[in-house]
Chains A and B, each alone.
Chain A
Amino acid sequence: MPLLWLSAIILALATAGFFLGRARALASVNGSSEKLHSLPSYYGSNALMKSVFPAFGAMLLWMLVQPLFIDNRVAQLIPDSEIDEGSSIGLVMSEVRRTADGITNAINAGFIDDETLTAGQADLSDVTQRLKDAGQVVTNDITQPILNAAQEYRALSETSRSVMTIVVLLVALLGAGWGVIQSGRDFRARNVVEQGILGILIAAASVAILTTIGIIFSLIFNTIEFFSLYPAVEFFTLLEWAPSFSGRGGASSLGILPLLWGTIYISVVALLVAVPVGLFSAIYLSEYASPRVRGIAKPLLEILAGIPTIVYGLFALLTIGPLLVSVFGEDGAGWMGGGRSVMTAGIAMGIMLIPFVSSLSDDIINAVPQSLRDGSYGLGATQSETIKQVVLPAALPGIVGAILLAASRAIGETMIVVLGAGAAARLSLNPFEAMTTVTAKIVSQLTGDSDFASPEALVAFALGITLFVLTLCLNVFALYIVRKYREQYE
């Protein structure tokens, strides 16, 4: 039964529970609702909640556990001989899944029927051909163990599906029934319903924690797998990044240092663009500008923050790059080989960060108490002297925090460097050379790759965890500084 229908039936059961519970509660007091503890609809809601939430919870849990369980069972069917040199059980399992899906689709489309697939007798090349005719993506030739495993996989999935349907419907029915039976004049329905709602609210708030846990686990597990295939020491110390594309493992050198260098270099260029422009804008907007100028200039600058990064990426690739080449390229200074370079990406990223620096610094400068300024004016300082010697020193911790936040943004930025910085990992000082970054390599190692067994793909997770830790430290430190600073003047 499709999930959509199952959900619809659960909802129908729950709705029925709502009306029955409500009716039963009213009946218990002969229709005079003022004798009930709670409003009648709370009795209905009680039944509704008791059927919907356990049922959907069971469904979700089942769907999470089912693939694990089935994979485990099916994996036992695959003999070791089936796993090629350099391959892994994971790869074979994904082939089994593909085959199983292919068979199901082909049966639905009428290209094949169950009889031809009966274990042990099927003509394998014929089956492969038929699957291909049905437009299914399968490997060149399906072997007997894989076919058996695929059939077992299908059988298990089907059984599990039907059992799930029954269990979930039963849970929904029992829940609704329980809610209806509870409904009576002395049952404190409102308290129960409100407890339930509070539970939902807590669950929703915990999604944030679940996300963090998900991020950490998905990074850590894959990174551990990567380090079991590739020495961690080399990853952190090798000065070369050269993944091999031909085979698995072996010849690749995967050192993170060139990537980190590119990341930091581009971020520094970006900050060199963004910090002066952003900071001076913030100073002018908060100290000098009339309300009218501020009302126009601030939103204009903030438009820059609302523009998606892909736009900046394209701007770097197609506008800044050619412009730089025409000045510093072959015809000009001769420092630049192609349009993609540290400068190209850095400038685009700097433009992106201007509003980030300016609005954060603006807030922070505004938080400096007016009394400090007045004291300085009283001593005869001019406005610029006041800013330079009183306001900025007072705001400095906050501004440093803002710059750190901007730096963390720059390190984590992806689209601009993917399009503007180039693909070659280099340790070079020339800002007009193409370099690459951690984020750009995560994209290139993982894009369009569905097997996670080779170190060349898994390295992306190690890069990801480095990036995550780096930005997390910067953020925590920056937020700490900013918060500390705010408290100082509150």
Chain B
Amino acid sequence: MTDVSISTTPSAPDRAKRVSLISSDARTEKRKSAERRFRMYGIAGIATGIFFLIVLLVSIVSSGTGAFQQTFINASVYLDPSKLDKNGNRAIEDLRKVSTFGYTPLIQQAVFDKLEQNGIETPLQKRGDMKALISASAAAQVRDVVLANPDLIGETVDFRILASSRVDGYLKGRVQREDVARDKNIDAEHLDLVDALVPLGIIEKTFNIDFITGADASESRAEAAGIGVAMIGSFFMMLVVLVLSLPIGVAASIYLEEFAPKNRWTDLIEVNIANLAAVPSIVFGILGLAVFIQFMHLPQSAPLVGGLVLTLMTLPTIIISTRASLKAVPPSIRDAALGVGASKMQSVFHHVLPLAAPGILTGTIIGLAQALGETAPLLLIGMVGFIASNAPDGIASGLLDPNSAMPAQIYEWAKRADPAFYERAWGGIIILLGFLISMNTLAVILRRRFERRW
């Protein structure tokens, strides 16, 4: 494909044209444009990749930021003693008997009163019509306050109660007026009401700390769902992964890199590690299910089991990066230690390992970040399908009580029918990515700060 092959059989006119080296002939032009085209393909490839990245990030941010804001209704609830404390003795046992059903009418009345005070005209003439505006969690919220402080009964207390997810969606642009016609949960009149209440400050959209700290909520209460408890579950899992995979991974790498003789057994281990790194994560889930739950009867859905499975999954990553950083320590260090009389073991533990520590740490953090985002194995050991409602109280319950994990919680929300949960799922992803970005940044900083070139 070079010019040589052509010029061996030159025709006379061709030769005449090719006298000048400055002006290029048609063939050269063709080759040049082929060159440019090929270059463009490369640029197009990179541009496509970066375009996908940008689309991904934009859709995460644009769909997820909504979850950090929540609509609340400011209402003054009259805690009617005749409803909440029929015996009038403020005994806590009697108060507990009043379920949230007892509180709902009071809250609806409070919102209804707000309409009258502000002279808002609406075709909705009944107290019960306010139901569509108020979250099903509101009654529990008020009840909790009353149970914590029974003296409030009989007084009018200002509450900031959760608005229903439809109202929230309307203010965020998720629920449109056209959709409402088919929605049995809310009518157009309610939306008129919302429009009237927003300028008065009775309905307001504010930062939603409960999304970050709170627990998951049932299917019908998207507005109350939070990722806090799942975050604790993830934390305990990462604790297990760190405590197990770091020592085991480092020990395995030291053996393979420093002590292992070249024999069949070592080869077998090496091939194993390379293959384990490429085994699909769902297979680790099957392993966890069969070994830890079916065989060892460890509790299902426990962060301990999740952590064990993720440990096995993270080990190859940690071993590979640890071996790389051990290999980077020059042999002269080992020789010097051996030369002044240290044993092989002492030279490794006193000299090589400390020098490799930054690299090991970096690899571990990256491995942990990978484990934090892993979902598939968690589905099999049962970390989905229930509502993670209670924050654990202590290390043992944190490890053994059923809990969710951040990615599993996001999956759970993505599966639910109500689109209000999708916003939560995106919001959860923002938090998850926030953790991943900080971990990876930490790894990069550590590498930059401590990396040594020999």
Residues of chain A at the chain B interface (Cβ within 8 Å) = 4, 63-64, 67, 97, 190, 194, 197-198, 200-209, 211-212, 214-215, 218-219, 221-222, 276-281, 283-285, 287-288, 297, 300-301, 303-304, 306-311, 313-315, 317-319, 351, 354-355, 358, 379-385, 387-389, 405, 408-409, 411-415, 418-419, 439, 442-443, 446-448, 450, 452, 460-461, 464, 467-468, 471-472, 475-476, 479
Q: How far is the CA of A418 from the CA of B384 in the complex (A)?
A: 14
Q: Give bound CA distance, A385 to B32, whole Å.
A: 10
Contact A219 B4 (CB under 8 A): no
Asked if residues B45 and A281 are in contact (CB atoms below 8 Å), the reply is yes
Pick from A64, A67, A198, A281: contact of B49, CB under 8 Å: A281
B272 within 8 A of A: yes
Among the 9-residue stretches B106-114, B247-255, B328-336, the one with 4 or more Cβ atoms under 8 Å from chain A is B247-255
**Is B153 close to A, CB under 8 A?**
no
List A contacts of B52 (CB < 8 A): 304, 351, 354
Interface size on B, residues (CB 8 A): 95
Residues of B within 8 A of A303 (CB): 53
Q: List, in ascending order, chain B residues with CB within 8 A of A460's CB.
A: 286
Contacts of B384 in A (CB 8 A): 447-448
Question: What are some 29 contacts across the A-B interface (CB < 8 A)?
Answer: A64-B296, A194-B343, A198-B255, A202-B255, A204-B251, A206-B269, A212-B276, A218-B290, A219-B286, A277-B45, A278-B45, A281-B42, A313-B411, A313-B414, A314-B414, A318-B59, A319-B59, A382-B32, A384-B39, A389-B1, A408-B278, A412-B282, A414-B376, A418-B376, A418-B379, A439-B280, A442-B285, A446-B286, A467-B282
**In the complex with contacts A448-B382, A448-B385, A300-B53 CB distance below 8 A:** yes
Residue B375 at the chain A interface, CB threshold 8 Å: yes
Residue among A313, A387, A452 facing the most chain B CB atoms (10 A cut-off): A313
Closest to A285 in B: B46
Q: Which residues of B contact A408 (CB under 8 A)?
A: 278, 280
Q: Are B46 and A284 in contact (CB under 8 A)?
A: yes
User: How far apart are A361's CB and chain B's nearest CB, in angstroms?
Assistant: 11
Contact A419:B379 (CB < 8 A) given known A208-B272, A281-B42? no
Is there contact, CB below 8 Å, between B45 and A468? no
Measured between alpha carbons, how far is A208 from B271 in the docked complex, in Å? 10
List chain B positions with a Cβ less than 8 A from chain A. 1-4, 31-32, 34-35, 37-39, 41-46, 48-50, 52-53, 55-56, 59-60, 63, 247-249, 251-252, 254-256, 259-260, 268-269, 272-276, 278-287, 289-291, 293-297, 300, 312, 315-316, 319, 343-345, 369, 372-376, 379-380, 382, 384-385, 396, 407, 410-411, 414-415, 422, 425-426, 429, 432-433, 436, 440
Partner among B269, B345, B380, B433 whose Cβ is within 8 Å of the Cβ of A194: B345
Residue of B nearest to A388 (CB): B38
Chain B nearest CB from A415 CB (Å) reads 5
Pair A310/B375 contact, Cβ less than 8 Å:
yes
The interface residues of chain B lying within 8 Å CB-to-CB of A447 are 379-380, 382, 384-385
Q: A358 to B436, Cβ gap below 8 A?
A: no
A427 vs B300: C-alpha distance in the bound complex, in angstroms? 35
Contacts A300-B53, A411-B280, A443-B380; is A314 near B429 (CB within 8 Å)?
yes
Complex Cα spacing A419 to B414, Å: 8
B255 partner residues in chain A, CB cutoff 8 A: 198, 201-202, 204-205
What separation, in Å, do the CA atoms of A335 and B406 have in the docked complex?
Answer: 36
Question: In the complex, which residues of chain A have a beta carbon less than 8 angstroms from the beta carbon of B319?
Answer: 208
CB within 8 Å for A442 and B272 given contacts A205-B256, A277-B45, A450-B300: no
The answer to whether A412 touches B39, judged by C-beta atoms less than 8 angstroms apart, is no
Across the interface, name the chain B residue whose C-beta is closest to A194.
Answer: B345
Contacts of B34 in A (CB 8 A): 382, 384-385
Report yes or no: B343 in contact with A280, Cβ–Cβ below 8 A: no
Chain B, interface SS category: helix
Contact of B286 among A277, A379, A442 (CB under 8 A): A442
Q: Are A380 and B3 in contact (CB under 8 A)?
A: yes
The answer to whether B251 touches A218 (Cβ under 8 A) is no
Select the residue from A301, A351, A414 with max chain B CB neighbours within 10 A.
A414
Known interface pairs A309-B375, A310-B373. Does A284 touch B43 (Cβ–Cβ under 8 Å)? yes
Separation of A254 and B382 alpha carbons in the complex (Å): 23
Distance of A98 Cα from B49 Cα, bound (Å): 52
Shortest Cβ gap from A418 to chain B (Å): 8
Tell me the complex Cα distance, A190–B342, Å.
11
Which residues of the partner chain B approach A448 to less than 8 Å between Cβ atoms? 382, 384-385
In-complex Cβ contact of B376 among A222, A306, A309 (8 A): A309
Bound: A472/B272 CA distance, A: 11
Known: A358-B49, A385-B31. A209 touches B283 (CB 8 A): no
Residues of chain A contacted by B372 (CB below 8 angstroms): 308
Least Cβ–Cβ distance between A197 and chain B, in angstroms: 6
Q: Report Cα–Cα, A200/B376, bound state, in Å.
A: 31
**Complex: how many Å from CA A358 to CA B46?**
10
Q: Is the CB of B251 within 8 A of A201?
A: yes
Complex Cα gap A479–B273 (Å): 12
| Other A-B pairs, 8, CB within 8 Å; known A200-B251, A204-B248, A281-B42 | A204-B247, A205-B256, A215-B287, A218-B289, A277-B49, A381-B2, A415-B375, A419-B414
Residue of A nearest to B42 (CB): A284
Q: How far is the CB of B64 from chain A (nearest CB, A)?
A: 10
Do the beta carbons of B278 and A208 come within 8 Å of each other? no
Contacting residues, chain B, for A276 (C-beta < 8 A): 45
Whether A207 contacts B1 in the complex (CB less than 8 A), given A308-B432, A461-B286, A475-B275, comes out as no
Q: A215-B279, A380-B3 are in contact. Are A318 and B422 (CB under 8 A)?
A: yes
Taking the nearest CB of chain A, how far is it from the CB of B185, in angstroms?
A: 22
| Interface-centre pick from B38, B48, B55, B407 (highest chain A CB count, 10 A) | B38
Tell me which residues across on chain A come within 8 A of B53, comparing CB atoms.
Answer: 300-301, 303-304
Alpha-carbon gap, A166 to B280, bound state (A)? 42
Chain B residues, CB < 8 A from A461: 286, 290
A201-B254, A311-B429 given as contacts; is B287 within 8 A of A443 (CB)? no
User: Is B273 a contact partner of A439 (Cβ separation < 8 A)?
Assistant: no
A156 to B369 alpha-carbon distance, docked (Å): 43
Given contacts A201-B255, A381-B1, A384-B35, contact A211 B315 (CB under 8 A): yes
**A354 pairs with B49, CB closer than 8 A:** yes
The reply to whether B291 and A214 form a contact with Cβ atoms under 8 Å apart is yes
Instruction: Contact check, B278 vs A405: say whether CB atoms are below 8 A apart.
Output: yes
Measured between beta carbons, the chain A residues less than 8 angstroms from B287 are 211, 214-215, 218
Among B46, B278, B425, the residue within 8 A (CB) of A281 is B46
Cβ–Cβ < 8 Å partners of A283 in chain B? 41-42, 45
Question: Which residues does chain B contribute within 8 Å of A411, judged by CB atoms?
Answer: 280
Q: Are A279 and B45 in contact (CB under 8 A)?
A: yes
Q: What B residues does A4 contact at CB under 8 A? A: 396
Q: Which of B375, B410, B425 has the most CB of A within 10 A?
A: B375
Distance between Cα atoms of A317 and B426 in the complex (Å): 12
Closest partner residue, chain B, to A282 (CB atom): B45
Contact B286 A209 (CB under 8 A): no
Q: Which 7 A-B pairs have the closest CB atoms?
A: A412-B280, A284-B42, A308-B373, A280-B45, A218-B290, A204-B251, A384-B38
Contacts of A472 in B (CB 8 A): 275, 279
Residue of chain A at shortest CB distance from B36: A384
How many angstroms from the CA of A361 to the CA of B282 in the assembled complex?
26
Contact B282 A207 (CB under 8 A): no
Please measure, in the bound complex, the distance between the C-alpha atom of A379 and the C-alpha atom of B4, giving whole angstroms: 9
Q: Residue on A with the closest CB to B282?
A: A414
Given that A215-B287, A385-B31 are known contacts, is A67 also in contact with B297, CB under 8 Å in the complex? yes
In the assembled complex, the Cα of A14 lies from the Cα of B20 at a distance in Å of 91
If A215-B283, A277-B48, A306-B440 touch, whether A415 touches B278 (CB-CB below 8 Å) is no
Cβ of A355: which chain B residues have Cβ within 8 Å of it? Answer: 49
